[in-house]
Amino acid sequence: MIGRDQPAHTLWITDRETPMKRRFSRALQANLLPALLAAFSLSATASDALKDGSTVYREVCASCHGPGPVEAPKYGDRTAWQPLIAEGQHVITAHGWVGVREMPPRGGDPELELEEFGRAVVHMARAAGADWPDPAAQPALLADIRHEVSARVASLRSKSVEPADRGMTGAAVYKEICSHCHETGVAGAPRRGNADDWKELIAEGQHIVTAHGWVGVRAMPPRGGHAELALEEFARAVAHMANASGASWKDPTGDAMLLGRIRSEEADRRRKLALD
């Protein structure tokens, strides 16, 4: 029996060993402990399945943040990274994830997990003097990043105003804006007139390539980094480059069906990137 001053929950600790207690102990070791170990193993496996920061940097980020002419804060450049580090890990990670300045959403790789992207940011920031932790091991930090992502998306949406078509031709937009990357192939940009560079893109279809470039894809920022462009002007430039590389794409001006397909693909792309 349990004494007056002995709480019920202490019985198994204070009472003498009994056959029932021995059976319970054996059951615990045989069933519960292996289950707990398996749970920990699954958790570790899920974490290990994520790419590390150096891998993501090498596969995704280095094309802009490594050596080269692209104006992005370079790996190991403490001067360039100092103001970014001062903004804070959750802010920089969230803004890069959504897309900031000339950086496309998720660094241009829609398959990245937030934890993987965050690890790449940490990898670069640490090389520039930061002491940021691995976000995959920090639930509170991940929550802060996700909150900042939501706030950033809402802010960008409230400020988003699409300009009217000024009538710039595709050739004019290319010369003024697109040629900086697409003439020489900076950061892997498909070169105008190079059929091999454009073959797979042309096969994807005009509405898909136009919409993805408009939202931001791979190392390409949204709207080619120029918010003043109208969709029609941007689409003309894409058609101009594709047609110089073997396509026979239409000028979208006045083509409601084509523009509608581009808009629909844009919406799907933005949802996939969690921008809406």
DSSP string, 103-160: BPGGGG-TT--HHHHHHHHHHHHHHTT--PPPGGG-HHHHHHHHHHHHHHHHHHHHH-
Q: Give the pLDDT score at 70.
A: 76
Domains of the chain: 53-159 (1.10.760.10), 170-272 (1.10.760.10)
3-state SS class at 101: coil
Q: Give the pLDDT score at 159.
A: 62
What is the value of pTM for the model shown? 0.54
Q: Give the pLDDT score at 35.
A: 41
Identify whether the C-beta of residue 229 lies closer than 8 Å to the C-beta of residue 163.
yes
Q: Give the pLDDT score at 268.
A: 87
What six digits make up the tokens of 9? 């929950």
Please, which residues have CB within 8 angstroms of residue 138's CB and are 6 or more apart in sequence? none
Low pLDDT (below 70) residues in the chain:
1-48, 158-161, 274-276
3-state SS class at 181: helix
Identify whether the C-beta of residue 218 lies closer than 8 Å to the C-beta of residue 107.
no
Q: Give the pLDDT score at 160.
A: 63
Q: Give the pLDDT score at 42.
A: 40
